[in-house]
Amino acid sequence: MAKKKAWGGRFGGGTDRFVEEFTASIAYDSILYRHDIAGSVAHARMLGKQGILPAAEADRIVSALREIRKEIESGKFSFDLAQEDIHMAIEQRLIRKIGPVGGKLHTGRSRNDQVATSLRLYLRDEVDEVLALLSRIGGTLVDRAGELFGVVLPGYTHMQRAQPVLLSHHLLAYREMFARDADRFAEARRRMNVSPLGAGALAGSTFPLDREFTARELGMDGVCENSIDAVSDRDFAADFLYACAVTMTHLSRLSEEMVYWSSSEFGFLSLPDALCTGSSIMPQKKNPDVAELIRGRAGRAYGNLLNLLTVMKGLPLSYNRDLQEDKEPVFDSARTVRECLSGADLLLRGMKVNEERMREACDDGFLTATDLADYLARKGMPFRKAHEITGRIVRHCEERGLRLKDVGLKELRKFSRLIGEDVRDAISLTNSVRLRKTRGGTGPDPVRARLAELKKK
């Protein structure tokens, strides 16, 4: 049997070793030490302010907590499985440092509201880091779109060549995705930035706590209004995990394109040697491992979200020990999304574009077929009829191994007398892109305008 715990007064003996190992979270929740100490400092100051503790004792507790933080950061702090979690580890160290006064810190507080506060503070910091990374990758996309302005590549639907687009426009599509991700994280931050401190175990406290004071001390926007909800709510963590999952979806799509665009079959771009690896048997290989791992780690983010939702779905109010299982998925997703945003940013900065190969791919096919149909529609032909005639022209070309631009005017006029000399301009690659001037389109004018707008931001 292990030694008795801080809560062991009601128990007749020590905890079974299996239970001690099975229930301990100190191995992973020690990451919360800064946030636990911040919450404890705010709580101690409030106890002193309210006269619940003598001011001198509150000051002594705050000073000792700051020393403990330095001990942890310098590697001098000794963690022990018997401490259960980071919260008890810090409290026990506090009592060893300053004696029984340290035991007064927990006055008017439960581990339930303490843990919930620490996790909210941790996630707030993580969101701020993720927002900075999203801003950086968004800026990289804008920079690269500006550098590569004018490069044309095939746009795809159903993985079939569809219409020519500016590469800048394609890159800015990801910038829009990451901007939405930033909105999701910012909204999650708003909802998580309220304080559970003072909720106690579930019912509040008999002490005259000033909950608004501790919220202000922690830079929070307010307090949780229901003590039961305060200790049992993990919606804020689910919000964070959902935002991570969607961000990883976007990173995975970007990585997927980098993987196949850098293949010999496409040859649209090359990735830096420093961000690729080789084969243990095939000397010629250059594998896009960073992009592949980003793509693969999206599954972890999805699993972490489902993990937490599954934990939460059947819990009665209020706190249950199941909620200990919220932390590992949260910590893993936070680390994963940060690392993958950094990796994707490096890939975008380092990739070299093969402009000639992209343009060749636009010429090799029927990417301006829609422009031919539009041309006929502008001549007065109903678009459905124009679509049918253009489809017949495409089939004619396929049967003869021709590209659309290779078909002579005389041959084209067999399909419609509306086709004239001006058809060449209408179906040229340059005009196909240039004429798409609608807001949000791939034409140089709207893309240039969007770039200017984004650079101002």
Token reading at 278: 């080789």
According to CATH, the topology of domain 112-354 is: Fumarase C; Chain A, domain 2 (1.20.200)
Supply the residues annotated as catalytic: 158, 279
CATH code linked to domain 12-107: 1.10.275.10
H helix count then E strand count, the chain: 19, 4
Considering only residues 102 and 84, tell me which one the structure prediction assigns the higher pLDDT.
Answer: 102
pLDDT (tens digit per residue) in 342-380 = 999 999 999 999 999 999 999 887 999 999 999 999 999
Per cent of the chain over pLDDT 90 is: 89
pLDDT of 1 > 50? The answer is no
Residue tagged 């941790």 (tokens): 122
Q: What is the pTM of this model?
A: 0.93
* Confidence at residue 16, expressed as pLDDT on a 0 to 100 scale: 78
Instruction: Indicate the DSSP class of residue 420.
Output: -
Q: Is the pLDDT of residue 293 over 70?
A: yes
Query: Residue 5 has what pLDDT?
Result: 64
C-alpha 27, offset from chain centre: 25
Give the integer Cα–Cα distance in Å for 155 and 26.
Answer: 51
> Which among 201, 197, 186, 205 is positioned nearest to 35, based on CA atoms?
197
Stretch 271-290: mean pLDDT: 93
CA distances from 26 to 112, 305, 327 (A): 16, 22, 11
Whether the CB-CB separation of 139 and 147 falls below 8 Å is answered with: no
Let me know if domain 361-451 sits in CATH 1.10.40.30. Answer: yes
In 151-310, beta strands by DSSP E = 152-157, 160-166, 269-270
Show me where the domains of the chain are located.
12-107, 112-354, 361-451
pLDDT tens digits for range 379-432: 999 999 999 999 999 999 999 999 998 999 999 999 999 999 999 999 999 999
Residue 74, CB-side half-sphere exposure with 13 Å CA sphere: 7
Tens-place pLDDT, residues 219-249: 999 999 999 999 999 999 999 999 999 999 9
Res 142 pLDDT > 80: yes
What interhelical angle do 235-261 and 167-192 show, nearest 10?
170
